Structure 1
Amino acid sequence: GAAAVVMPASLALVRQAYEDARARARAIALWTVGGSVAMAAGPVLGGLLTDVAGWRSVFLLNLPVGAVVLGLLVRVERSPRRPAALDAAGQLTAVLALAGLAFAVIEGGHLGWTAAPVLAAGALAVASGWAFYAAEARQARPMVPLGMLTDRRVAVPLAVGFAVNAAFYGGIFLLGLYYQQLRGMSGTEAGLMFVPMSAVVTASNLVSPRLAERIGRRQVIVVGQLVFAGAMAAMLPLAAHTPVWLVLVLLLPLSTGGALAVPAVTALLMDAVPAERAGTASGLLNALRQTGGALAVALFGSLLAGGDGGFSLPGMRIGLLAVAVVVLATAAVTRFLLPRD
């Protein structure tokens, strides 16, 4: 919950602080680097803490980080206030829709897709989604102005953000279980396998805005997605005897593709909205990215469950293929629907 508040607010502050589009793109790349470094460090620290002190200790990581951030915020200038009434109906229906969808996807693999609780959760998601649309259409100052979603400069980056996160976190989830359940690694060892990605992700995040200045952000997003999809397709032959060094090599283009696309997607979205809507756009992007990641993990978890409760290698391959197809589809959407910049 706290992260859901902090991430959009921090990106909105970046949008307000930089009026020049080029400077803003580079600032957004640095903002993305922070998340990338945390993403790379998370599996290592989480695996180490789980092995040493149990999984509950993982939740203590945020305490010192939060204390440092609060101390730094004292020096940040207060942002402009824009008082607005709380859109309670919009927030409630959005939460119900996402909760119903998440429950249906998570439990569908365990209870069966035709089980009564799963069908009920799916129906709740559909009904709440429709109620959300109706509530926002009636609101004078809605939480999510529907007009934003009809603008391709907004809708396409949101769709790409959802798909890239679903693909990335789904892929990391698949490979994490591959390392532990098929290769017999500990949590710490599996986390260390992702360390080489951190340098590649950081470098690619920083290269992204400079590359966009040369070929355009739309092209950067498309190239990143094609590299990402190619890396996933190359992983389809993975087996229990595949050399670990080869798996590590294949992770490098995967991390490069995603890390090139995300800063360009974020910068495009921030350029498409006025400063007063930056928080709303940032919140939408982060909500969809996290939803994509959560749904991918839940869906792939059901694919990986073997009939005897063990790891399913065919299930992993289906998941990798699904990731590649989704990313290729969003690359096509980006190429043909996003205006040239």
Structure 2
Amino acid sequence: MRTPAPAPRQSSRLALLATSLGFVIICLDVTVVNVALARIRASLAIDATALEWVVNAYTLAFACLLLTAGALADRFGARRVFVGGFAVFTCASIGCGLSGGAAVLVASRVLQGVGAALCVPSSLALLGAAFPEAHARAKAVSIWAGTAALALGAGPLVGGVLVDRFGWQSIFLVNVPIGIAGIWLTLAHAPDTVRHAARRIDLAGQALAVVTLAALTYAVIEGGRLGWASATVLTSLAAALAAGALFIAVEARHAQPLLPLALFRNAVLNVSSITGLTLNFGYYGLMFAMSLFFQTARHDTPLETGIAFLPMTAVVTVANVISGRLTARFGHRLPMVAGQSLAALGYLALAFIHADSSALAIGLPMLAVGTGVALAVPSINTAVLAHVEATSIGIASGVLNTARQIGGVVGVGVFGSLVRPESGDLAAGLHVAVMLAFVMTLASLVTIGVGLAKPRAAVTNCAG
């Protein structure tokens, strides 16, 4: 096992820039697509269910492969895996931009998800190598998460401008120059990480994970079209449950499992993962639903829709900076609780809006949700870095981000099944969806209170 020498300060900063660029285009791609949905639907002549697949094909591949990507980062080094993922994502973006049909677009979105999965765990591991001192690492993670959160929030506005000016294909092609710059910066300046040469790839576990999440996603998406009591949906849910149970059984007996179940003895990882799942459930679902609400119920253009999302994004960077400082001074529990509490209030307020509600009545709750999510995200990432062994950071990061992406997949599916353009009453479905997000966020707060009963210090050893 080789331990790389600490990177110089300038190299650390450029490594932070490289990882931030990677996370930016990955997160931008999550939200930028939403404002293009109406144009994609008209251009490719597809229905609302197909639109959900355009959004979720990316997130599904992302969620399915994150654990393997974390293991790859541990075994081969985070820099090599990060560069490979960045290259796959960039090439897949070209495929999306040049696609002339739904099948090619969805397939290219799957490849984007593969590239994104390779990038995210390795980018967090790269930050751990570039910033070995805990206080500096907390600030670096705050910046990394802040730029990504800003990209998530800016996606609708950026997408609105691009779609209105250059067509929906441009939201994918814009990734290409960013990808090239990020790959160069990583190769030139990012340090390598500790390599766990004994790590092996668990093919059986990976296959069962794909079946579990794919079956769950199919059930959630098709449930809105076929009905939750349909034989197809129930069969898919049963398949997801069976594959999930078999996955746990295989992992418990495997010598080098894809998901070491011993990791779940770590209360901080468990709480962070549950918090991340609920954050993405509400945020991703809300982005999808509100885009349809603005463009269908309120008849806004893509650009107007992007502008309508500004209250949700205006304070993202500030909230992330505040979260980093709170985490560095008081530990990760406080920003988790504050963020989830604020998001819960936002979801509750959105349960009372209608198509003719004022911009203020819609914007303030969205502002609360965006601020709450931005406060919570850096703290859950810093918590994992601070309480997992250095040789397992990649796989632990994979667990955390898999939980978040599962939340996003289910959120888009559930919100999409409730908020459908053909229903004639988008607001009623939206009210049910945000109340579900409200309840899940409250459950997350209970988990934080029970699982992190004693506040932990922010400055701790990675193996602590």
TM-based fold match above 0.5:
yes
Matched, 1:275 2:414: no
Query: How far apart are the structure 2 equivalents of 1:162 and 1:59?
Result: 26
Matched, 1:231 2:346: yes
Aligned 8 A contact 2:326 2:334 in 1: no
Query: How far apart are the structure 1 equivalents of 2:333 and 2:192?
Result: 34
CA offsets, 1:285-330, max 9 Å, x none?
1122112112111111111137x53342111111111111111110
What aligned pairs does 1:67-106 form with structure 2 within 5 A after superposition?
Answer: 67-75=180-188, 76-83=190-197, 84-106=199-221
Deviation of 1:213 after TM superposition, in Å, equals 4.1
**What are structure 1's unaligned runs of at least 5 residues?**
none
SS of corresponding position for 1:149? helix
Which residue of 1 is the match for residue 146 of structure 2? Answer: 33
What aligned pairs does 1:117-196 form with structure 2 within 5 A after superposition?
Answer: 117-196=232-311
What aligned pairs does 1:9-48 form with structure 2 within 5 A after superposition?
Answer: 9-48=122-161
Amino acid at match of 1:161: G
Amino acid at match of 1:86: I
Higher relative contact order structure (alpha carbons within 8 Å, sequence separation ≥ 6): 1
Question: Which one is further off, 179-188 or 74-83?
Answer: 74-83
- TM-score scaled by structure 1? 0.94
Query: How far apart are the structure 2 equivalents of 1:159 and 1:174?
Result: 22
Question: Of residues 315, 320, 330 in structure 2, which corresponds to 1:205?
Answer: 320
Query: How far apart are the structure 2 equivalents of 1:231 and 1:40?
Result: 16
CA offsets, 1:178-205, max 9 Å, x none?
2111111011210122234333011111
Amino acid at match of 1:24: R
Matched, 1:285 2:400: yes
Structure 1 pair 278/45, CA: closer, same or farther in 2 (3 Å)?
same
- TM-score scaled by structure 2? 0.70
Deviation of 1:31 after TM superposition, in Å, equals 1.0
Amino acid at match of 1:35: A
Aligned 8 A contact 1:16 1:275 in 2: no
Deviation of 1:98 after TM superposition, in Å, equals 0.5
Structure 1 pair 14/339, CA: closer, same or farther in 2 (3 Å)?
farther
Aligned 8 A contact 2:222 2:233 in 1: yes
Aligned 8 A contact 1:153 1:339 in 2: no
SS of corresponding position for 2:423? coil
CA offsets, 1:195-220, max 9 Å, x none?
34333011111111212344432122
Query: How far apart are the structure 2 equivalents of 1:72 and 1:31?
Result: 15
Question: Of residues 421, 433, 443 in structure 2, which corresponds to 1:329?
Answer: 443
CA offsets, 1:66-105, max 9 Å, x none?
1111111122223333232221011111111010100010
Question: Of residues 114, 117, 120 in structure 2, which corresponds to 1:4?
Answer: 117
Query: How far apart are the structure 2 equivalents of 1:337 and 1:77?
Result: 34
Query: How far apart are the structure 2 equivalents of 1:294 and 1:20?
Result: 35
Aligned 8 A contact 2:291 2:305 in 1: yes
Q: What is the number of equivalent residue pairs in this alignment?
A: 340
Q: Percent identity?
A: 38
Matched, 1:313 2:424: no
Query: How far apart are the structure 1 equivalents of 2:371 and 2:285?
Result: 16
Matched, 1:111 2:226: yes
Which residue of 1 is the match for residue 331 of structure 2? Answer: 216
Deviation of 1:125 after TM superposition, in Å, equals 0.8
Deviation of 1:339 after TM superposition, in Å, equals 4.2
CA offsets, 1:41-83, max 9 Å, x none?
2212223333444434422222111111111112222333323
Which residue of 1 is the match for residue 34 of structure 2? Answer: none
Amino acid at match of 1:72: L
Amino acid at match of 1:68: A
SS of corresponding position for 1:140? coil
Matched, 1:245 2:352: no
Deviation of 1:254 after TM superposition, in Å, equals 1.7
